[in-house]
Structure formats: structure tokens, C-alpha cells
Chain A
């Protein structure tokens, strides 16, 4: 017992000194479990997050937009993959993690349960959803677990085009026809609040946050990140000439931040619990892809095994 305690203390000291933890290093079991849960949730979010955008690839209104969007959604697949890889360094099995997602046991970011009915939503997702994700990911570049931090550095480098891509779509719309402007404003109206919810519950309602902060898995609190995002995003909305759907949004000189209305947390918990427009659609799509891919994955394994046996025989 005393020994276990001292190991944990040493671990804490090590992390406090801004050292990175690497896969084979000793770590508290709870640190490992927290990381696997967080990294895999993050990976699931990337993969499920492909769906609302992918459904516009075939409908993108110009060829330039089409290739940019396809490349962007493909990046999300890549990011999911980097993250599953990072989770695997902790001894997790990707297939098992995916199974948890498909069985509804693992969570993913609730924002992807909202629909993308118009083209402007592709702009809003890039600008707001990726913007919020980037705020979180920039913080995670300094997370204490080495492979996670490295995956994040790679992801942040690639993400930088995503947000610009989204903002440029909206910029083109607000400079366009009346119908296009309306489309842009409508999408901001729908995505603003869900984007703010992406940072998670307020700090006093976020039970796991304190321990994650202590272990330096998380480096900033939900509310800090949310505030940073709002402060950065409001001027960008002004530049677009769009109105953020919050009558109470106002710069607070004293705090040096924007004040805003209460977030509707009831909606947040409703959507998490399955009451979003697309929860079922998203999970059905993932389940279908996985089930229909089974024979393909199996065939590739069997072929590989046959080949390995062939080469063994011819070597003998």
C-alpha cells in the first residue's frame, strides 16, 4: 500500500515537472483508463463527425469546394486513426473500442447528432465546430501523455485548413445573393449554441475535470476554453456581418471577456441521451459500415495468412 502510494506520488511529481509519460512507463491505472476513455471518445467523434459533412460531398456546389470538402472529411478519418493508434499504445484494442461505440457504450461528441440540411452548414461546421475543436486540441498538444500529444500536434497542423475552409464558405455566402446570406445566418443560428456546448458542462458540473487537470491530461477548464472560443469568434462573426443568436452577448470591459446568456444544458443532455435529430442515423451508418465490411476484413486476413504459408513453404 505504502509502495503504491509512493509510486503515485512520484508519478505526480514527474508530471508536475512537465515531463511526458510514454507507453511503457509506470502510470496509475486510473490515468491509463481515463486516457483510453478520452482518446477513444475523441477518435469516435472524428469518425462519426465525418458523416454530417460527407453527406454534402456529392452535393458541393463547385468542383473546388468538392475536392476541399472531400480532403477535409478524409482528414477526419485520418485524425480518428491517429487517435485510435494513440489509444493502442496504452494497450487498448481498436476493434474493441469501436465495438463499444457501436454498442452505444462509448460516447462521441454530441454536436454530430445535429443535421446539416444546407450547404451553409458545411461552412458553419468548419468555422465553429472545427474552431471549438481546435481550441481543445491546441491545449491537448501539451497533454502529459506523449503519444496523445504527438497525435494532437499532427492533427492541429492539418486542422488549420479546415477552419479556413469553413470560414471561406461563409464569407462567399455573405457576399452573395440574398438567399445565400439568409442561408449563412440560418446556419449560424443553428450551430452557435451547440458549438458552445462542445466544451462540455460548466466547471462546477464537470466531475472528472479536476483529476484530469491534476494529471495534466487537460490543461484548461471547460469554461476557460469556452470563453477563449467566444472571445475569438465574435469578431469573426462581425466581419461576416452575421448576428450571433444571443441578445445578451456583450463585451465586458472589466473582465476582458464577452458576457453571454445561459447555455441551455437541458438541450445538451437531451441530445446526448439520444434526442438529437441524427443520433440514430449516425449510429446506424457506423454499424452498417462495420457490419458490411466484415467479410472484406476477414478475406484480407485469410489471404495474408495463405501468402505467409506459401512463402514459408517455398523457403523450406
Chain B
């Protein structure tokens, strides 16, 4: 931490579970010096209208993201694997719902 920004708090990504039964969802970020305050800041910033019942905070720097440059090798190979989808298989209507 340089002299210049020693009063700069680090960034945390905030994930909120809006109710039980749903996953935590990314809602934005906040600044905080530590995890304890990050949770409280996330609470004050992102749940003022009862939007959540559970909060995750993660240091932004700790997140590893896939690169958009790798989008094709990462994701296009899945596009032609149509046999992973139920509609790939022909079942006569008479059989009913499967």
C-alpha cells in the first residue's frame, strides 16, 4: 500500500440470497477494510429494502474470471452436444410425459 492511498479501502464483491431456496446472486460491490465491515457495509448498501436474508462478500482481487478471449474454446464446444438436451430424443406422444 503506497503512502498515496493508505486510506483507500479494498473492494469486495457482494452476493445476496434474497430468500431461502434461491442462490446468492451478485449485486455489486462495496469498499471495506476487512471482512467484518464488508458484511455490514453490504447490509447497509444492498439490503435497505429487505432484499436479502444472507450475504456473501469476497475480495474482488480473489476472484479469477475466465477471459473473453477464451470464450470460443471454453464455451462453443458445448454448443453441438445436442444429445445433452431432452428434446434430442424422440418419444411417442402416447407414452406421456417423460
Which A residues contact B (CB, under 8 angstroms)?
Answer: 22, 24-26, 74-75, 78, 81-82, 85, 88, 93-95, 150-151, 154, 158, 293-294, 297-298, 300-301, 303-304, 307-308
Known: A94-B31, A300-B33. A24 touches B49 (CB 8 A): no
In the bound complex, do residue B30 and residue A81 qualify as a contact, i.e. CB atoms below 8 Å apart? yes
Residue among B27, B28, B37, B48 having the largest count of chain A Cβ atoms under 10 Å: B28
In the bound complex, do residue B30 and residue A300 qualify as a contact, i.e. CB atoms below 8 Å apart? no
In the bound complex, do residue A24 and residue B65 qualify as a contact, i.e. CB atoms below 8 Å apart? yes
Residues of B within 8 A of A85 (CB): 28-30
Residues of B within 8 A of A94 (CB): 8, 31
Residues of A within 8 A of B68 (CB): 22, 24-26
Residues of B within 8 A of A24 (CB): 65, 67-68
Instruction: Give the distance in Å from the alpha carbon of A85 to the alpha carbon of B42 in the complex.
Output: 13
In the bound complex, do residue B7 and residue A301 qualify as a contact, i.e. CB atoms below 8 Å apart? yes
In the bound complex, do residue B30 and residue A95 qualify as a contact, i.e. CB atoms below 8 Å apart? no
List 19 A–B pairs whose Cβ atoms lie within 8 Å, in order of A's numbering.
A24-B65, A25-B68, A78-B45, A85-B28, A93-B5, A93-B8, A95-B7, A294-B7, A297-B9, A301-B1, A301-B7, A301-B8, A301-B9, A301-B33, A303-B33, A303-B34, A304-B33, A307-B34, A308-B34
Partner of A78, one of B34, B48, B67: B48
In the bound complex, do residue B8 and residue A297 qualify as a contact, i.e. CB atoms below 8 Å apart? yes
Residues of B within 8 A of A298 (CB): 6-7
In the complex, whether B11 has a CB less than 8 A from a CB of chain A is yes
Cβ-closest chain B residue relative to A294: B7
Known: A81-B45, A158-B49. A297 touches B7 (CB 8 A): yes
Instruction: Give the distance in Å from the alpha carbon of A24 to the alpha carbon of B65 in the complex.
Output: 9
Instruction: Give the distance in Å from the alpha carbon of A75 to the alpha carbon of B30 in the complex.
Output: 15
Instruction: Give the distance in Å from the alpha carbon of A78 to the alpha carbon of B6 in the complex.
Output: 24
Cβ-closest chain A residue relative to B41: A81
Chain B positions 1-20 with a Cβ under 8 Å from a chain A Cβ: 1, 5-9, 11
Cβ-closest chain A residue relative to B51: A154
Told that A81-B30, A95-B5 touch, could you supply 14 new A-B pairs with CB distance under 8 A? A81-B45, A82-B28, A85-B28, A85-B30, A94-B8, A94-B31, A95-B7, A294-B7, A297-B7, A298-B6, A300-B33, A301-B6, A301-B7, A304-B33
Cβ-closest chain B residue relative to A308: B34
Residues of B within 8 A of A78 (CB): 45, 48
In the bound complex, do residue A151 and residue B7 qualify as a contact, i.e. CB atoms below 8 Å apart? no
Least CB distance, A289 to chain B, in whole angstroms: 13
Instruction: Give the distance in Å from the alpha carbon of A300 to the alpha carbon of B49 in the complex.
Output: 27
Least CB distance, A78 to chain B, in whole angstroms: 6
Partner of B8, one of A82, A95, A303, A308: A95
Residues of A within 8 A of B5 (CB): 93, 95
Instruction: Give the distance in Å from the alpha carbon of A308 to the alpha carbon of B7 in the complex.
Output: 17
